[in-house]
Amino acid sequence: KQEVTQIPAALSVPEGENLVLNCSFTDSAIYNLQWFRQDPGKGLTSLLLIQSSQREQTSGRLNASLDKSSGRSTLYIAASQPGDSATYLCAGPTGANNLFFGTGTRLTVIP
Amino acid sequence: DTAVSQTPKYLVTQMGNDKSIKCEQNLGHDTMYWYKQDSKKFLKIMFSYNNKELIINETVPNRFSPKSPDKAHLNLHINSLELGDSAVYFCASSQEPPRGNQPQHFGDGTRLSIL
């Protein structure tokens, strides 16, 4: 069964700093790797989806990478802003066609 | 326009009661899901329907019964509610099942509290 771990569990950075969130998974046979953000009291918003054949995806200040062989993905946020404060989750489906979520990283960007 | 909408947003009820949560998506997606997020914020799949047919049914008590009257709706009925059922329940949808390369879209959640 796929297990997804996210480190760190919480992170505080000053505004403007670049940061990296980490996601590791045990089953490398994932079909894709997805990054979401969750704001308090809200559902999840999809940020980036990396297909298994891809190495990275970019959207604005966000860049996500995928290394299936090592079971790792990273989300890089450039020039962080207070509006980036949220919980970030990664998830990846395997042969069971089930989307396994990590435990999340709670990010606080301090103005 | 809300893409995935759930009702009610909050649900407070007594142990032993039966309750339903409704979900509707206007994205034209073929696959819908129910997730449970516990107090530690861990999100776990409960059910998934593709074109009104059940494709994922994780280890969930049979007190929980999903019903999909059409592709745009996936409702969740819970019988004999227990204290451990207190959680946030999220509905989501996607054009394809998770193995496809389309992201999932989530509702804002239903916060269920059992007294």
Residues A98-102 have a mean pLDDT of 84
Residue B33 and residue B92 in contact, taking contact as beta carbons nearer than 8 Å? yes
Residue from A106, A104, A111, A37 nearest A81 by CA: A111
Collapse the DSSP code of B85 into the 3-class scheme (helix H, G, I; strand E, B; otherwise coil) and give the result.
helix
Q: Does A75 touch chain B (CB under 8 A)?
A: no
Kindly calculate the radius of gyration of chain B based on its CA atoms and give it in whole angstroms.
Answer: 13
pLDDT band of A97, cuts 50, 70, 90:
low
Average pLDDT value for chain A: 92
Q: Does A62 touch chain B (CB under 8 A)?
A: no
Output the pLDDT for position A95. 66
Per-residue pLDDT tens digits for A24-56: 999 888 889 999 999 988 889 999 999 989 999
Q: Does A59 touch chain B (CB under 8 A)?
A: no
Residues A54-65 have a mean pLDDT of 96
Output the pLDDT for position A65. 97
Residue in B4, B43, B101 closest to A32 by CB: B101
- What value, to the nearest 5°, has the Cα angle with vertex A6 and ends A4 and A7? 150
Let me know if B71 is exposed, middle or buried by CB neighbors in 10 A (0-12, 13-18, 19+).
middle
- The verdict on a CB contact (< 8 Å) between A44 and B99 is no
Residues A54-73 have a mean pLDDT of 95
Residue B73 and residue B23 in contact, taking contact as beta carbons nearer than 8 Å? yes
| Encoded tokens for B37 | 């997020």
Distance from CA of A100 to the nearest CA of B (A): 7
Residue B46 and residue B58 in contact, taking contact as beta carbons nearer than 8 Å? yes
Output the pLDDT for position B18. 97
Residue-level pLDDT, tens digit, chain B, 115 residues: 669 999 999 999 999 999 999 999 999 999 999 999 988 888 988 988 888 788 777 778 899 999 999 999 999 999 999 999 999 999 999 998 877 788 899 999 999 999 9
Collect all residues of chain B within an 8 Å Cβ-Cβ radius of residue A93: 97-99
> For the residues of chain A, what is the DSSP string, one character each?
---EEEE-SEEEEETT--EEEEEEES----SEEEEEEE-TTS-EEEEEEEETT-SEEEETTEEEEEETTTTEEEEEE-S--GGG-EEEEEEEE-TT--EEE---EEEEEE-
Output the pLDDT for position B78. 96
Kindly calculate the radius of gyration of chain A based on its CA atoms and give it in whole angstroms.
Answer: 13
Residue in B41, B97, B105 closest to A46 by CB: B105
Output the pLDDT for position B1. 65
- The verdict on a CB contact (< 8 Å) between A101 and B104 is no
